Structure 1
Amino acid sequence: MKKQFSSLVAGLSCTLVMMMATPVMGQRFSEEMINQGRYLATASDCIACHTSDKRKPMAGGHAIDSPVGRIVATNITPSRTFGIGNYTEQQFADAVRLGVRADGARLYPAMPYTAFSYITDEDIHALYAYFMEGVKPVDEPTEPTELPFPMNIRASMIGWNFLFANTRPFEPDAAESELWNRGRYLSVGPGHCATCHTPRGFTMQEKTGKALQGAHVGAWFAPDITSSSVNGIGSWSVEELMTYLATGRLEGKAQAAGPMAEAVTHSFSRLREDDLRAISTYILSVPPSDPIPSVTENRFDHGGPGDLLVDFRGTSYEDGMRLPGLGRGAQIYSANCASCHGYEGQGTRDAYYPSLFGKSITGGTSTANLIAVILNGVERETPQGGHVFMPPFGDQDNAMVPLDNDEIAALSNYIFTFYGNPGLSVTPAEVQVIRDGGPKSDIVLIARIGLAAGVLVVLGLGVWLFRRRRANWG
């Protein structure tokens, strides 16, 4: 009897240890909790970065072009071998909100934990439930991120986080409405709007004093979305912004492309109408950006119909490519763009192929997005807006007609002159920058110089101390 009791105790103890060591095994979440987590993951647009193969959601592998190099998104399926299947809920929370992996290594802020730090404990619990039981495990590794020295030292993020990471949970503003507070939570937290739309400083930190005033995101430029009626979207109504977020287009003003098209496809278009209203209400309340002396006209008011067809009518394409001034750009436009966007840039009547004038992409202060659209094309798909596609003209395998840097520069200048901001111009060198993934930061070089200087200072101090002690010994 005593032996049987001892065996029973030993068995129960072993079971208890196994339950503590395996946080998910045997633990089941309700469908309601899993669906809540799925919705929050959608609001956070996790799939856009963590999916490179649509057949394997959240399995990672997607490479993100950053100013310091390519960062590869990891496998965040519940795979116990290559994913996060062994994470406890606390480890999951630390990764999402603090940028600390289960093994203690630091994540790079390409994973927007600086924004996700605002996510509440309740929502973290729901996200954990979804990722552990609502995502199919994929037992495949991802390519490791290999940044240049010293950016490859992940421990350096400890100091960066101390200086710039948010440590305060989201706090509702009692002076604002429940709708506004919900919009602020979704925008600054899960939606991480500031991650793309807020300019960054020398050390790649967000300039919080210039929230949502526009910034480069790889090859693209996330424009000013403050309430400024000149620089931002202050001329939009709440309903118009809701339409744009739900469909990716606002007729006569904007079409989502690049990272924003991904966000519309995978995230915003899947959100409830009340949450879209909350986000739009908050965004349109963000203080306007500082005036720019050279900018007096809203970016949605530039350009108009026009063409230079008469300059090359009756000439061959080869002869047209030798035309002076804007003639070459006009020839390229006629051969590659006019069949969809119209000979005067007017688009189609149903606006499926948009007009090129009166748009953010052609009327803003940055040339990056037009170049990036020509190089990379456009693709988005939403329940309300259908499937929108424009082929790329870069060097991709599926490129319509590959254009070189000179041709894209000539085409861009023609489009800006007639259909957009005539004060902008593009050079072949600028096209190459966008082709290479966007502007790079000098922080790598400066960090190396700083480290070298630090080593020299330490060595110099060591020599001085050695000589001083040697003199004292004498």
Structure 2
Amino acid sequence: MKNTSRSLLSVVLGIAVLAAVLAWIVAGLLNRSGDASAQLAQTVTPALIEKGAYLARAGDCVACHTSHDGGKPFAGGLGIASPIGTIYSTNITPDKQTGIGNWTYGEFERAVRRGIGHDGSALYPAMPFPSYAKVSDEDTQALYAYFMQGVAPVEQPNKANDIPWPLSIRMPLAYWRALFSPAPQASVTSAGGSRIDRGAYLVQGLGHCGSCHTPRALTMQEKGLDESASGYLTGAELNGWNVPALRGMPHWSEQELVEYLGSGRNAKASVAGEMTDVIANSTSHMSDADLQAMAAYLKSLAPAKGPGYQQQAERSAATTAKLTAAKGLTLGERLYIDNCGACHFVSGQGAERVFPRLDGASVVNAANADALLHVILAGAATPSTERAPSVLPMPGFAERMDDAEVAELATFLRQGWSNVASAVTAEQVRKIRSTLEAKH
């Protein structure tokens, strides 16, 4: 009898807990639903539209909402790979038939900051609304003014997402939103009380840096949306590229961070991979004051845990001396002298703001070598920006080297000078080569 009573009590308690959880989720959904009928509170002026244009740059809206095959700005159609299939970005021009021209401010605000579509459906978190929830009311209104009156309308129907059923069912996304996306806070101000506050606002909000630089849990939410979470900005992987940690950036100065964000290069590195578009479309258009604020905020964070790169003068000098003497070289060392040494030099130090350093480079020392292999095989090029208008290309060596040779070169790069990363196999190179060939 006692066992039966205990079983009934367990069932009752379980039901009570489940009911409490469901009630909490429902309350969260209601708290995050917003008002679709809300109207713009500010008068639309040229200054407000100009402010919205700047904020759209800071948010890099054009990168995701413009197709890479010659699409018009903000007309959508870009395929975004996800674990459940391909999500196509939507038309956010003010076209009344296929874009957002008939949207109220409230509908726009709900989509941007709450992840709720025009028709009330839940948006996929490929749209970084968990980050945009931190954008202030006044800035969201400026964005709406810009997209409605500062962007040319483009009639282009949206593409259907390529996501198989039942993964295409959107109802569970509403619960995801309630669990993992914060409610917008009307009291947030865009200016903040200090330079670091302004930097935090940009990095956490419009910049949505955590979308790429913060690892995700099994349920695909970021492991933290600000510095209060230990996993925030500790690095991740995206589309085969190692995404470095941004916390503290111990090997870069604040000014080097500003230079990198503003021009795609500094004394130690040049941009490559996914970050190239971010700099070309977004950060290179931001003011010096905002870039300095972002750098100050990132430098204020405690560095990510882990061994990381450590300069070892004797090891670096030994590699430099061996390459200089050019005697008894391994295959990887010979390949470096023949293909890389003219630009990156035997010291692996490169040339400031022209050829990036290899000794200590994050792409070289990453736990996953895929990004380095991408660069060796396909090459890279810095974007042309107002602060650095020249394009500096690096050729790809896919046709010049076979898989074994690329593996030997990459292994030397990851273990030469002070670098201490793992060796690379020909099989790893083959996989990356196959991926690149599939894209062409």
TM-score (norm 1): 0.72
Tell me, yes or no, if structure 1 residue 223 matches structure 2 residue 239. no
Q: Distance in 1 between matches of 2:342 and 2:160?
A: 43
Q: What is the Cα deviation at residue 76 of structure 1?
A: 1.6
Tell me, yes or no, if structure 1 residue 46 matches structure 2 residue 44. no
Q: What is the Cα deviation at residue 215 of structure 1?
A: 0.7
Q: Distance in 1 between matches of 2:62 and 2:113?
A: 17
The one-character-per-residue Cα deviations of 1:4-27 (angstroms, maximum 9, x if unpaired) are xxxxxxxxxxxxxxxxx9x99xx9
Kept in 1, the 8 Å contact 2:261–2:291? The answer is yes
Q: Distance in 2 between matches of 1:300 and 1:84?
A: 58
Tell me, yes or no, if structure 1 residue 122 matches structure 2 residue 135. no
1:388 to 387, 391, 395: 391
The equivalent residue for 2:219 is 203
Tell me, yes or no, if structure 1 residue 263 matches structure 2 residue 278. yes
The equivalent residue for 1:88 is 104
Distance 1:101 1:217, change over 3 A: same
Distance 1:30 1:351, change over 3 A: closer
Q: Distance in 2 between matches of 1:332 and 1:172?
A: 54
Q: What is the Cα deviation at residue 100 of structure 1?
A: 1.6
Q: What is the Cα deviation at residue 267 of structure 1?
A: 1.2
Q: Distance in 1 between matches of 2:186 and 2:304?
A: 24
**Residue pairs, 1:297-336, within 5 angstroms:** 297=310, 303=316, 305=320, 307=323, 310=326, 326-327=330-331, 329-330=332-333, 332-334=335-337, 336=339
Q: Which moved more, 1:369-378 or 1:40-49?
A: 369-378
The equivalent residue for 2:48 is 33
Tell me, yes or no, if structure 1 residue 74 matches structure 2 residue 90. yes
Q: Distance in 1 between matches of 2:127 and 2:433?
A: 23
Q: Distance in 1 between matches of 2:86 and 2:335?
A: 32
Gaps of 5+ in 1: 1-20, 228-232, 313-324, 395-399, 439-474
The equivalent residue for 1:280 is 295
Q: Distance in 2 between matches of 1:301 and 1:94?
A: 57
The one-character-per-residue Cα deviations of 1:224-252 (angstroms, maximum 9, x if unpaired) are 1112xxxxx1343322221221122221x
Q: Distance in 2 between matches of 1:259 and 1:376?
A: 14
Tell me, yes or no, if structure 1 residue 212 matches structure 2 residue 242. no
The equivalent residue for 1:341 is 344
1:424 to 413, 418, 422: 422
Kept in 2, the 8 Å contact 1:359–1:420? The answer is no
Q: Distance in 2 between matches of 1:302 and 1:171?
A: 53
Kept in 2, the 8 Å contact 1:118–1:170? The answer is no
Q: Which moved more, 1:217-226 or 1:185-194?
A: 217-226
Distance 1:144 1:311, change over 3 A: farther
Kept in 1, the 8 Å contact 2:135–2:206? The answer is yes
Kept in 2, the 8 Å contact 1:308–1:330? The answer is no
**Residue pairs, 1:421-460, within 5 angstroms:** 421-431=419-429, 434=432
Q: Distance in 2 between matches of 1:355 and 1:172?
A: 40
1:106 to 105, 108, 122: 122
Q: What is the Cα deviation at residue 72 of structure 1?
A: 2.4
Kept in 2, the 8 Å contact 1:307–1:418? The answer is no
Q: Distance in 2 between matches of 1:75 and 1:161?
A: 22
The equivalent residue for 2:360 is 358
Q: Distance in 2 between matches of 1:214 and 1:187?
A: 14
- SS of the residue corresponding to residue 246 of structure 2 reads coil
Q: What is the Cα deviation at residue 198 of structure 1?
A: 0.7
Of the two, which has the highest radius of gyration?
1
Q: Which moved more, 1:133-142 or 1:216-225?
A: 133-142
The sequence identity of aligned pairs, in percent, is 37
Q: What is the Cα deviation at residue 370 of structure 1?
A: 1.0
Q: What is the Cα deviation at residue 309 of structure 1?
A: 9.3
Q: Distance in 2 between matches of 1:110 and 1:179?
A: 29
TM-score (norm 2): 0.77
Q: Distance in 1 between matches of 2:104 and 2:311?
A: 50
- SS of the residue corresponding to residue 81 of structure 2 reads strand
Kept in 2, the 8 Å contact 1:364–1:421? The answer is no
In structure 2, give the amino acid aligned to 1:89: Y
Distance 1:110 1:409, change over 3 A: farther
Distance 1:286 1:346, change over 3 A: closer
Kept in 2, the 8 Å contact 1:302–1:420? The answer is yes
Q: Distance in 1 between matches of 2:47 and 2:425?
A: 54
Tell me, yes or no, if structure 1 residue 161 matches structure 2 residue 174. no
Q: Distance in 1 between matches of 2:79 and 2:186?
A: 30
Kept in 1, the 8 Å contact 2:91–2:158? The answer is yes
Q: Distance in 2 between matches of 1:74 and 1:326?
A: 51
Distance 1:226 1:28, change over 3 A: closer
Q: Which moved more, 1:49-58 or 1:338-347?
A: 338-347
In structure 2, give the amino acid aligned to 1:381: S
Q: What is the Cα deviation at residue 197 of structure 1?
A: 0.8
2:207 to 191, 194, 200: 191
**Paired positions, count:** 387
Kept in 1, the 8 Å contact 2:309–2:420? The answer is no
Kept in 1, the 8 Å contact 2:309–2:360? The answer is no
In structure 2, give the amino acid aligned to 1:58: F
In structure 1, give the amino acid aligned to 2:128: P
Distance 1:372 1:296, change over 3 A: closer
Q: What is the Cα deviation at residue 171 of structure 1?
A: 6.0
Q: Distance in 1 between matches of 2:213 and 2:118?
A: 30
In structure 2, give the amino acid aligned to 1:422: V
Q: What is the Cα deviation at residue 110 of structure 1?
A: 1.6
Q: Distance in 2 between matches of 1:247 and 1:300?
A: 30
Computed over aligned residues only, the root mean square deviation of the Cα atoms, in angstroms, reads: 3.5
2:376 to 365, 374, 377: 374
Tell me, yes or no, if structure 1 residue 409 matches structure 2 residue 407. yes
Q: Distance in 1 between matches of 2:315 and 2:158?
A: 45
Distance 1:345 1:288, change over 3 A: closer
Q: Which moved more, 1:180-189 or 1:367-376?
A: 367-376
In structure 1, give the amino acid aligned to 2:86: R
Q: What is the Cα deviation at residue 433 of structure 1?
A: 5.2
In structure 2, give the amino acid aligned to 1:34: I
Gaps of 5+ in 2: 1-36
Kept in 2, the 8 Å contact 1:60–1:142? The answer is yes
